[in-house]
Structure formats: structure tokens, C-alpha cells
Structure 1
Amino acid sequence: MPQYLRQQSLEDRVAELERRLAELTRTNQVGSTTLTNGTLLIRQGGRIQVMSAEDPTRTVAIIGDIGMPDANGTPQMGLQLRRDTPSNELLFAQQMAGAWAGTGFPTQGLAMYDRAGNVIISADTTSGKGASFPQRLVPFAGAGFFASPRTSATTWQDLLVASIPGDTPRLSLVVGLLGDQIGGVNTGGNYRILVNSTTVVASGTIPANFTWMYPSALVDMTPWYGPGTSVRVAIQVQRTSGATTGGTDGNGGSIRAEMQGALLIGS
């Protein structure tokens, strides 16, 4: 105890301690605290929670324990931002959103939500590469000698090609294929999907029955992953049967192709 306190009466000493306690209470407010060149640590399920000025019961931001533990009860440390509206919709989050029966949070991701609760922008948490949303349409165009996507060649020819952004995990395709008919003779062939001009990711036979077929493929694009890059994807065909003269170009039957759908999606 300081010497000057020992020289005071008990009543004066109590009054001095009360004064100092009041001063400490006034100055030790978080609202007036400045952290310079230091680190504020939040551990063991702690968190910072920001409440609405309009409604003090409404949470608009959480950093730390977001209240979604794993199966062992371990707190999930993350980030949530909510709209300061009566509905208090989730706006932005770093979290593992789905139910999880295991340990830890292996697919914790970053996502933005609309007011209806739909994810509109998110990282792909399964592959760990690129974006899961938004899903982006991929336009394809005809290629080769003829303006329209058809060929009578018996070797592999590009009919539909596109440059695919390298930052999305998967490419979903649905293609229409048809062997035409020349002088009553049906045309048959083969098709394949070629990525980066070297890798066949799907293939099949085009029956000689003068009927459209619609094969689909879900292509893993992660081997060519690279933000800001692109990779060439081609739908190739070759004729294997049918007339060898006549037809559109005089070389016999042709294989035709049309793109039914192309979509970049997450894992």
C-alpha cells in the first residue's frame, strides 16, 4: 500500500480507492480504446458481435463463433454479415453452411447471398479451386471450312469450339448430333470432346439412323485450372459410314452438330 494511504484515516482511504476505481471505470471503455501495433486475439469460441443501432436485438455482423459447431461441439470460427433490415437477411459469410457430422470444417467457403437466401457468388469448396457461383453460360460457334457446323470428313474435325475460363471447376455440356441421309443412305460417325487440343474427356458413336441424339457430359476442368486463363474445348466428329458422293459439299453424307447447352458450374 502506498505510504500516503497509510497516513490517512480509513474513511479517507476508502474514499480515495472509490475515486480511483471510478476513474479506471471511466477510462477503461472499449469505445475509447485504440489498438496500435498490436493484435487482438479471439479464442476458444469467442467473438465480436455488432448490433443494429435501430434494433439492439438485431445482429448485423459476427467475427468469431458463428454458432454452427461441428459434430463434436467445436465452435466454427468465421464471419457473417447481415442486412440491417427487419428480416435481417444473411448478406456475406465465411462459413461452412451445411450440416456436418464430422470433425472440423473442411468445406468452409466464402459466399454472398441475395435477400431470398440464394448464393449468388461463392468459392468452390469441394475442389478448392475457382468459383462455384455464378454459373456462366458458355457460347460455342461453328468451326472448319463450312460456315455451318457439319462435315463429311472421315477424320476428326472441329464442329463446335469455345475458349473456357480457367477458374471454374466443371463444364456441363449437352450436344445435338445427327448423321444426315443422302440418296436414301444414312450417315453414321463418331464424336468426342477434346480439351486443350490433347485430352479426350468424352466420346461415343453417332448411329446411322437419321435421328438426332443428345449426349451430355460433365467435364472436370480442374486439371487446367488457372485464374485469368482459358482453355480450348472442341466438339469433334468424323464420318464412318454413309454415301461417299453427293450431299452438301459433294463428298457424301455429313455429320451435323448443334449446342443444346453449355454451363460452367461448381463442384
Structure 2
Amino acid sequence: MATIPQDINDRLRRLEQELRALTTAANRRPALNQIMHGDVKIGEGGGLSVKQPGGAETFRVGEVGPIAGEHALVVRRRDGSVALSVWNGTTTGGQAQAFRIKDAQGHELLSEDVVAGGLARPHLPIPMSPAQPTNWPSTSSTSWTDLQVAWPEAQHPRLEVFAQAVGNGNGGDMRITVDGQVMASGTHNKPIQATFKIPNYEFGQHPEIKLQARAKTSSTVWACVQRMCGVAS
């Protein structure tokens, strides 16, 4: 069958349809709620902000203010109070920005010392023990005797312990138990310096930790835990 030639009107209508389809495709916007590949880069003093329906900001990274030019990170509660931040409120001096976690009243619960390193808060207690060993708890019994006991709230899966003992006569032995299980041992001339797992560890539990000692026949042994702290796995 012979090809029927198209007149100029047919050709114009076809070109018009193709042009309309091309224009629609060029103006079609991609989905703005997904990033499938690549990075999002915000520069030149910009920032990324997440706001509640009422307009209150709950998250911002970039230039956070109120100090112009400081780029940092702030996470806020729905009432606007700061929950977490990495900033220091200044752009001078090259001082590192501090990481801080705050409670709902604005008190710092956790923060770092950006000058010397380590913690700024919380303030950790440093217990002291008697300097004279004869002031330590003691026993002359040849059976295991409780000299010190603690029921801490477990927040780490392991314990680090340092304990010393002295004795007269033939001295004696000492040991650390947790819920009745012997975890570390020493003697009047061999201190306990050990790190061990808390048996059946559960966060927030209250294990019973004891320092026990027993003396040799006709002897006395003095013992004291001088350092004990929780450590990570």
C-alpha cells in the first residue's frame, strides 16, 4: 500500500504535541522528600533546620547563632530548651567546641573539658582510704570474714578493683566477691589489681560486692579496697 503523504497541518499538530511533551518533562520537579544518591552540601554560612508545625526549631546544624559565623549543632526539646549541643558561643581563639547534654532545667549533665581533655561534668567522687594500714578493717579469723561491702547501681558491665592487705605473723589472704562469686584474690604481700565482668550483669541492678579476708593461724590481716570503678566491655 502506498504511503499517504501528510499535509502541513498534520505535521504541525505532531510537532506541537512533541513540543508540549518536552516542555512538561523539562518542568517536572523531582521528589523533594528523598535523597537517593550523593551528598547534601550546604555552604556559605547556610544551615539545615527542622521545625515543629508551630515553627519552633528542634534541630539545627550549620550557622546556629547567636554568634554570627559559628557553625555548630543544636538539638532542642519541643519547648525550645537545649537538649544536646556542640558549640561554644565564640568564633575567636580557635577553641574547640564543647559537647554538652542538658536536662530540662538547663543543668549540664555531661560535658567535656575542651582545654585539657576529659570530663567537665559530671563531677566524679574520689574516695579516700586511711593512710595507715592498721586503720583498715581487719580480722584474725582463719575463716573468710567480710571487711567491706557495697551495693552500687551497676552502670558498666565490668569492674576495675585495686585492694591491698598487710598482716602480722604469717599474714593472710583476701578476695573480692560479687553476689557470692569469687572474682579476684590476693594476699598480704600481693595486692588485688584486677578487671572482671560483673556476673549476670543487668544495667541498673545492685550487685553485692564484698572484700573478704582470712588470717593465718595466730595472725592478723588488714585489708582495704582503695580503688573501684565501673568500666566498659
- What's the TM-score, normalizing by structure 2? 0.47
Larger Rg: 2
Q: What TM-score do you get using the length of structure 1 for normalisation?
A: 0.41
